[in-house]
Amino acid sequence: MADTPFDPDAFLAQRQKEAEAAAAQPPAPTLADKAAAYIPGTQGVSDFLRVGSNSATYGQWDRARAAGEVLTGGAPSYAEALQDKVARSQAARERLGPFMAGTADAVGGLATGATLAKAGGAVVGSAVNAARPLWQRIVGGAVEGGAHGAAQATGHTYSDDPSAYIKPAAAGATMGAILGGGAPAVGAAAGATSKALGFGGSRVSATPGGAPGTVPAELSKAADADRAGLYSMMRGEMGPRAMLPDTGPSMLGTAQGAVPGTSGPGKSALTTNLRTRDESSPAFVSSEVNRLYGPAVTPSRVATGVREQMEGMSPEYRQVLQNARAIDTQGIDNRLVGMLSDAAGHNETTIHGIRRQLEIPTNPGVLDPHPGRIQAVRTAVRERLRDPGEVANHPTLERIERVLTDELQDKVPGIRDLDSRYAELGSQERALQPDSPGSRIFQTDRANVQRPDEFRDTLREAATPKGTATGPSLEPYRLGQAARAEIDRIVGTKKNDLLALEQVLANPQDYNSQKLAIMFGQDRADQLAAVLRNERRGRDTFQKVVEGSQTAARMEAAKAQEASSGSSTNVGQPLWGRFEKLIAGGYDKLMAHQADTTRDRIAQIMATTDPQRLQQIIPQLLASEPDKRARAAIVDQLVSQGFMGAGVGLAASQGGVERKKPLPAGFR
């Protein structure tokens, strides 16, 4: 077969037909287009992603894809490829419709804002700026929104004329600034609402095994305000009887607000537990004093026992004196005469009387030399020294007792050791008397007050061995018994006046508290002060929550009775007025019931007395408010960024492509 000659015109005509046929065919489907053909709804997903991606990249997604086609040889020029991508994006926006397209813009804008916030470049919702005042965030949001809006509008404008970008940029900046400035306010409002409603808050049960419930917002805020007091309770510094209302003014005020209104198990538990604790306070204080200082003694009875020991030494004295030689009484007489030279009035009478007791009954004017006679007179002098009626004569009697003692100890072998034992017992007996330093430890009048330094010196001197004794004296121990008896007397007479009791024994800077520490140790003084302070705080809580709430409860009851008695006054009102009042009344009752439920829930938690249970509840209370603040901040950020994203994302539809020539064949 002969070859057909090549016809150039016919070949070009055929190629022209093929080109026209190809131009008439739709463009080759993309991967998304192919998926849409098999998966229902995928076209909408593809359109949503296309629009959102452009908003997230300030219109750069279409530009990037156009540049990619040019680089891979899929398009003859960047301008033609870009026009095709923009046309496709516009078609996708039209298929989505205004609402879904706007949503895609908002999602894209939100993604951009979140990325910038994470990188530290965002003002609205940024963790760095979350603590700034709201007005500063509004100003920052307006600036940021304006920048977002201008960038979006400029990025979605396609033109060869630079001046064509000015108008869209201004419009986008204006819209972004308006909505960006409002974003912090909207976010803060949403965050506050979330915090107030307590969504997702800590859940706590007041009683073991009880149904847990969300911590009410009022209790959460109070716990956060009194955080230091709650920590103190957890450390045991408020004592084993502390309750949540004791931890600070905010918790106390919340407890006060929880008891008015209708009755409930929480209110009953709180008032009952506070009352029971208050009524048991005197017994608790007494038991704590006994625990710290031991049981109190009756000084007069102990002194009687010591006196009996002193009297029991008489046989020993008689045995020592039985074989003693006569004493030359001239020395005694000389010293007594010397005392008369500077004596006057009743002192002189006292000296003459004792000298006559020393005389031989059958030989007036001559002193008896027998040691037994001198010992008998010395014993009588010592008895007078114990007589309160002889206080005025004490100086003279003490000098006479010293004269007789010196003579006996110098002339009678063995009596010095007996005198040392007797002196030791005598010092113990005197330490137990009502006028001893131990018994006067808490007296504050000018005549009897002892300063802490003076009291410390008294104890130091009291511990000095008596006579020939080698060991320390028990006089300080007896002074401690007398002081302990004074504590018992004060507590016994002021059990129901905890404030006065605290003022007498537990003011750290007062003399009484300092002398208590000197006598019994600083640790025990501090523990007693803590007991009295905690019990006084507990009574204050009881008076403010239970007793102070009774007036409010009576007022609430009176209001309820007035409302009940006025419920029949609707007769004669228009039908709509009665209906409106009925609706309002129902709403008020619903709100009142909700308030009562919340108050009773707070009261139930506040009524907890078990220390172990409180150790579980307190961390939940402390975590609740920060959790709510954190959730509010999260909501604030999400809503702020979403609101701004929606605003600046809308700027994506404000730009457009300025087409100065038709698309080439084969490109769309």
pLDDT at residue number 655 = 46
Cβ-Cβ contacts under 8 Å for 65 (sequence gap 6 or more): 81, 85
What is the maximum alpha-carbon separation in the chain?
194
Q: What would you report as the CA-atom Rg of the chain, rounded to the nearest whole angstrom?
A: 50
What is the domain extent for residue 162? 20-195+638-653
- Model confidence pLDDT, tens digit, residues 85-144: 788 878 878 787 877 877 777 777 666 655 555 445 555 444 445 556 766 667 776 777
Q: Say yes or no to pLDDT of 648 above 80.
A: no
pLDDT at residue number 37 = 47
Reported residue count of the chain is 668
Question: Residue 440 forms beta bridges with which residues?
Answer: none
pLDDT at residue number 628 = 52
| pTM given for the model | 0.59
DSSP code of 495?
A: T
Domain count, the chain: 1
Whether 618 maps to a domain, the answer reads no
The pair phi, psi for residue 115, each rounded to 5°, is -65, -45
- Model confidence pLDDT, tens digit, residues 213-268: 677 888 888 998 999 999 999 999 999 999 999 999 999 999 998 888 667 888 99
Cβ-Cβ contacts under 8 Å for 268 (sequence gap 6 or more): none
Cβ-Cβ contacts under 8 Å for 536 (sequence gap 6 or more): 498, 499, 501, 502
Whether 62 maps to a domain, the answer reads yes
pLDDT at residue number 102 = 75
Question: Residue 158 forms beta bridges with which residues?
Answer: 657
**pLDDT bucket at 509, cuts 50 / 70 / 90:** confident
pLDDT at residue number 641 = 54
Question: Residue 360 forms beta bridges with which residues?
Answer: 363
**pLDDT bucket at 660, cuts 50 / 70 / 90:** very low
Identity (one letter) of the amino acid at 116? L
Which tokens belong to 404?
């007789």
pLDDT at residue number 84 = 80
Residues 506 and 517: their CA atoms lie apart, in Å, by 10
158 in helix, strand or coil? strand
530 in helix, strand or coil? helix
> Is-contact 154 172, C-beta < 8 A?
yes
Q: Say yes or no to pLDDT of 44 above 70.
A: yes
Residue found under tokens 């093929």: 18
> Is-contact 625 251, C-beta < 8 A?
no
Q: Which of 276, 239, 277, 292 lies closest to 488 in space, CA to CA? A: 292
Which tokens belong to 137?
């965030």
Residues 491 and 500: their CA atoms lie apart, in Å, by 10
DSSP letters for 181-220: HHHHHHHHHHHHHHHHHTTT--EE-SSTTPPPEEPPHHHH
Specify the range with the lowest mean pLDDT, choosing from 154-168, 184-198, 585-599.
184-198
46-66 average pLDDT score = 77
β-pair type (213-214, 203-204)? antiparallel
b/e map of 164-194 (b: 16 or more CB within 10 Å)?
ebeebbebbbbbbbebbbbbbbbbbebbeeb
> Is-contact 46 32, C-beta < 8 A?
yes
Q: Say yes or no to pLDDT of 656 above 50.
A: no
Question: Residue 203 forms beta bridges with which residues?
Answer: 214
- With both helix axes pointing from N to C terminus, report the angle between 452-462 and 511-520 in degrees, rounded to the nearest 10: 20
- Distances in Å between the alpha carbon of 346 and those of 343, 349, 397, 624? 8, 5, 12, 82
Residues 152 and 114: their CA atoms lie apart, in Å, by 16
Whether 262 maps to a domain, the answer reads no
pLDDT at residue number 629 = 54
Whether 118 maps to a domain, the answer reads yes
Q: Name, of 33-47, 177-191, 266-280, 614-628, the range with top average pLDDT.
A: 266-280
- Distances in Å between the alpha carbon of 316 and those of 327, 410, 422? 19, 18, 11
Which tokens belong to 263?
């009755």
pLDDT at residue number 179 = 67
β-pair type (359-360, 213-214)? unpaired
Q: Name, of 75-84, 378-387, 552-561, the range with top average pLDDT.
A: 378-387
**pLDDT bucket at 417, cuts 50 / 70 / 90:** very high
Identity (one letter) of the amino acid at 377? V
Q: Across 253-300, where does the E strand assignment appear?
A: none
Element of type H or E holding 59:
none
Q: Say yes or no to pLDDT of 8 above 50.
A: yes
pLDDT at residue number 185 = 66
Whether 330 maps to a domain, the answer reads no
Q: Say yes or no to pLDDT of 379 above 80.
A: yes
DSSP letters for 112-140: HHHHHHHTT--STT-TTTTTS-HHHHHHH
- 442 class by beta-carbon count within 10 Å (0-12 exposed, 13-18 middle, 19+ buried): buried
- What mean pLDDT is reported for the chain? 77
- Distances in Å between the alpha carbon of 571 and those of 148, 565, 578, 581, 583? 62, 14, 9, 12, 16
Residues 570 and 575: their CA atoms lie apart, in Å, by 9
Q: Cα angle at 155 between 153 and 157, to 5 degrees?
A: 70
pLDDT at residue number 530 = 94
Whether 531 maps to a domain, the answer reads no
Residues 214 and 233: their CA atoms lie apart, in Å, by 22
> Is-contact 111 138, C-beta < 8 A?
no
Count other C-beta atoms under 10 Å from residue 480's C-beta.
19
pLDDT at residue number 438 = 94
Whether 13 maps to a domain, the answer reads no
- With both helix axes pointing from N to C terminus, report the angle between 346-358 and 371-385 in degrees, rounded to the nearest 10: 150
pLDDT at residue number 271 = 92
Sign, Cα dihedral of 36, 42, 44, 50: negative
Q: Which of 565, 566, 594, 562 lies closest to 581 in space, CA to CA? A: 566
Specify the range with the lowest mean pLDDT, choosing from 17-21, 88-92, 449-453, 634-638.
634-638
617-634 average pLDDT score = 68
Q: Say yes or no to pLDDT of 513 above 70.
A: yes
Helix H segments across 386-414?
A: 394-411
Whether 216 maps to a domain, the answer reads no
pLDDT at residue number 136 = 67
Which tokens belong to 663?
């698309």
DSSP code of 226?
A: T
**pLDDT bucket at 364, cuts 50 / 70 / 90:** confident
Identity (one letter) of the amino acid at 252? L
> Is-contact 606 270, C-beta < 8 A?
yes
- Model confidence pLDDT, tens digit, residues 265-308: 889 999 999 999 999 999 999 999 999 999 999 999 999 999 99
- Model confidence pLDDT, tens digit, residues 179-223: 666 666 665 565 555 555 554 445 555 554 444 567 788 888 899
- Distances in Å between the alpha carbon of 156 and those of 56, 84, 99, 527, 615? 11, 14, 19, 76, 60
Q: Say yes or no to pLDDT of 596 above 80.
A: no
pLDDT at residue number 310 = 92
Residues 438 and 477: their CA atoms lie apart, in Å, by 10
SS (H, E, C) 303-371: HHHHHHHHHCCHHHHHHHHHCCCCCCCHHHHHHHHHHHHCCCCHHHHHHHHHHHHHEECCEEEEECCCH
